């Protein structure tokens, strides 16, 4: 009896993963992890929540850290590699490790700010730069009400070479070119569908632009940049009538709300026959927004690596706060303002916010 109880408790402390015995553990802060190697992340997370994200906010540094996960990971091109030139290593930290090169690429305009904030934190901890970039994005997103609990993996080796230029899509790229770029980046791991591209763009629900129209830095892409909600997918579907700043900027389309900026790429993806129905499907569907973004982010965050060589540390990610908004038309806007692009499904019925036509504040 005693032996059996002992055996059960020993087995409970281990789980067999892919043939190897993995040690469960309770980390210093009480977090229970399936793999004790993940406890190394607890002090890193405490540090970034306190010193990067201002005590757990969903603010500018979270937005910038999420953008950085993408700009590092998408730096991989099997098509370039096929020409005999190094095509980039994906999520390999190269955007920070080669900070004299990659941040100077046009599409990376502005990433130097978050790099300057992340570098001293990375230096304090025993973690690769590649792992840190993706960890910071996932932890940051967990501060945003409505967000999914993203996956975290560790074990990515750091880059030894920079990614080539032109791997990061630009807001003035055509839909053809954007879809092709994602397909290329993921071509060694089964490709990436237009639906997955749309799902990944849910990131723009917690986003603003500093450099598209430099006269109005911090101009958000939706009216709720601190919430991981579906407003981005609603508001990009509204007829564009104004530029929030000077207008005439490369990669900018007219938006529907004062104080809100619309990227040309988002505008076109919302209206292209290959992506419009998927775009509309996120309107008023918070559950799909969460699950589809989580799945697409998981694939993006390990680009360039074989998942079986990484350790899944997703249990260190805090549960994000519940959604804090219901899908709605901003004040002054109704279904009549929607540029319906999905031919097969009607736009969902939504309430309009009361009050005079709204304008969005910078972040
Ligand atoms: C078609 C692909 C994409 C294009 C063309 C694009 C373009 C842009 C542009 C031009 C900005 C504004 C940068 C600035 O002026 O400060 C921006 C911001 C941002 N992007 Fe994207 N993006 C794309 C996909 C993604 C993806 C896949 C993610 C993450 C998974 C992402 C996350 C963000 C975030 C969080 C911001 C806000 C940064 C901030 O507020 O400081 N983007 N994006």
Query: What's residue 122's pLDDT?
Result: 98
Answer yes or no: is pLDDT of 13 > 70.
no
Considering the domain boundaries, does residue 145 fall inside one? Answer: yes
User: Would you say residue 14 lies in a domain?
Assistant: no
Write the residue with the smallest CA distance to atom 20 of ligand 1.
67
**How many separate domains does the chain show?**
1
Biggest distance spanned by C-alpha atoms of the chain: 78
Residue-wise pLDDT for 300-339, tens only, equals 999 999 999 999 999 999 999 999 889 999 999 999 999 9
Pocket test for ligand 1, best of 70, 262, 302 (most atoms within 8 A of CB): 70
The pairs formed by 173-181 with CB atoms below 8 angstroms and a separation of 24 or more are: 173/265, 174/268, 175/265, 175/268, 175/269, 175/272, 175/274, 175/275, 178/265, 178/269, 179/274, 181/74
pLDDT in tens, 187-199: 999 999 999 999 9
Q: Report the C-alpha dihedral over residues 239, 244, 246, 248, rounded to 10 degrees.
A: -30
Residues in the chain, total: 363
CA gap 232, 257 in Å, rounded: 12
CA dihedral 171, 202, 112, 223 (to 10 degrees): 90
Taking CA atoms only, the protein residue closest to ligand 1 atom 42 is 67
Predicted pLDDT at 360: 87
HEC string of 333-345?
CCHHHECCCCCCC
Report yes or no on 94 lying in a domain.
Answer: yes
Core vs surface per residue 51-86: b (16+ CB within 10 A) or e: ebbeebebbbbbbbbbbbbbbbbbbbbeebeeeeee
Range of the domain at 306: 36-337
Report the candidate in 17, 54, 72, 6 with the shortest Cα–Cα distance to residue 302: 72
**How many Å apart are CA 43 and CA 155, to the nearest integer?**
17
Q: What is the pLDDT of residue 21?
A: 61
pLDDT tens digits along 41-67:
999 999 999 999 999 999 999 999 999
pLDDT tier for residue 9 given thresholds of 50, 70 and 90 = very low
Atom 37, ligand 1: residue with shortest CA distance: 207
**Spatial CA neighbour of 262 closest among 360, 328, 182, 134:** 360
Tell me what pLDDT residue 16 has: 47
In a domain, 195, yes or no: yes
- In-domain check, residue 313: yes
Closest atom, ligand 1, to C-alpha of 265: 5
Tell me the per-residue pLDDT of 210-239, one tens digit each, with 9 for 90 and over. Answer: 999 999 999 999 999 999 999 999 999 999
Mean pLDDT over 91-106 rounds to 98
Within 6 A (CB) of ligand 1 lie 60, 63-64, 66-67, 70, 110, 169-171, 178, 200-201, 203-204, 206-212, 251, 263, 265
pLDDT value, residue 58: 98
pLDDT of 4 above 50: no
Label residue 94 exposed, middle or buried (CB < 10 Å: 0-12, 13-18, 19+).
buried
Alpha-carbon gap, residue 308 to 158, rounded angstroms: 17
Q: Output the pLDDT for position 361.
A: 86
pLDDT above 90 as % of the chain: 90
Of 292, 232, 240, the C-alpha closest to 264 is 240
3-state secondary structure at position 192: coil
| SS3 label, residue 164 | coil
Q: Where does 142-212 have alpha helices with state H?
A: 175-185, 194-200
The pair of structure tokens assigned to 91 is 């999520």
Closest ligand 1 atom to residue 220 Cα is 40
63 CB-side CA count, 13 A: 21
Given a cut of 70, whether residue 2 has pLDDT beyond it is: no
To test the pocket of ligand 1, the residue of 207, 219, 271 to mutate (highest count of ligand atoms within 8 Å of its CB) is 207
Considering only CA atoms, which of 99, 86, 96 is closest in space to residue 161? 86
**19 within a domain of the structure (yes/no):** no
Share of the chain above pLDDT 70, in %: 94
Confirm whether 240 is domain-assigned.
yes
Residue 64 is inside which H or E element, if any?
helix 60-73
Helix (H) or strand (E) holding 120, with range, is helix 111-124
Q: Residue 162 falls within a domain, yes or no?
A: yes
Q: In this predicted structure, what is the pLDDT of residue 291? A: 98
Helix, strand, coil content of the chain in percent (nearest 5):
40, 10, 50
* Residue whose CA is at the smallest distance from ligand 1 atom 33: 67
Instruction: State the pTM of this model.
Output: 0.95
For residue 20, name the pLDDT band (cuts at 50, 70, 90): low
Q: Among candidates 118, 84, 88, which has minimal Cα distance to 101?
A: 88
252-290 residue pLDDT tens: 999 999 999 999 999 999 999 999 999 999 999 999 999
Q: How far apart are CA 214 and CA 191, in angstroms?
A: 35
pLDDT in tens, 143-172: 999 999 999 999 999 999 999 999 999 999
CATH code of residue 279: 1.10.520.10
Residues annotated as catalytic are 71
Statement: residue 5 has pLDDT above 50: no
């Amino acid at each position: 009896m005693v032996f059996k109880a002992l055996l059960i408790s020993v087995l409970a402390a281990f789980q067999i993963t892919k043939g190897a015995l993995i040690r469960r553990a309770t980390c210093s802060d009480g977090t229970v992890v399936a793999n004790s190697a993940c406890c190394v992340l607890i002090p890193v997370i405490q540090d970034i929540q306190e010193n990067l994200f201002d005590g757990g906010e969903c603010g500018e540094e979270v937005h910038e850290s999420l953008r950085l996960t993408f700009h590092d990971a998408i730096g991989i091109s099997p098509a370039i590699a096929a020409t005999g030139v190094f095509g980039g290593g994906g999520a390999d930290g190269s955007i920070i490790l080669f900070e004299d090169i990659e941040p100077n690429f046009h599409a990376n305009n502005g990433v130097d700010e978050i790099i300057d904030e992340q570098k001293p934190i990375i230096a304090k901890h025993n973690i690769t730069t590649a792992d840190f970039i993706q960890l910071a994005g996932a932890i940051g997103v967990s501060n945003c009400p409505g967000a999914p609990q993203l996956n975290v993996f560790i074990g990515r080796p750091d880059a030894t070479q920079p990614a080539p230029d032109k791997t990061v899509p630009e807001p003035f790229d055509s839909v053809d070119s954007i879809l092709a770029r994602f397909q290329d980046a993921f071509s060694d791991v089964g490709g990436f569908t237009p639906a997955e591209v749309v799902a990944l763009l849910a990131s723009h629900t917690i986003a603003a632009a500093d450099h598209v129209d430099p006269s109005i830095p911090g101009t958000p892409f939706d009216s709720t940049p601190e919430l991981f909600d579906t407003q981005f997918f609603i508001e990009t579907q509204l007829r564009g009538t104004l530029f929030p700043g000077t207008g005439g900027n490369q990669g900018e389309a007219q938006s529907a709300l004062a104080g809100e900026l619309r990227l040309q790429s988002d505008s076109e993806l919302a209206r292209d026959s290959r992506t419009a129905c998927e775009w509309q499907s996120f309107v008023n569907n918070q559950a799909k927004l969460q699950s589809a973004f989580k799945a697409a982010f998981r694939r993006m965050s390990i680009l360039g690596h074989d998942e079986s060589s990484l350790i899944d540390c997703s249990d260190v990610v805090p549960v994000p706060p519940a959604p804090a908004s219901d899908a709605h038309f901003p004040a002054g806007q109704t279904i009549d303002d929607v540029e319906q692009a999905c031919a097969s499904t009607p736009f969902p019925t939504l309430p309009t916010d009361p009050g005079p036509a709204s304008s969005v504040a910078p972040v």
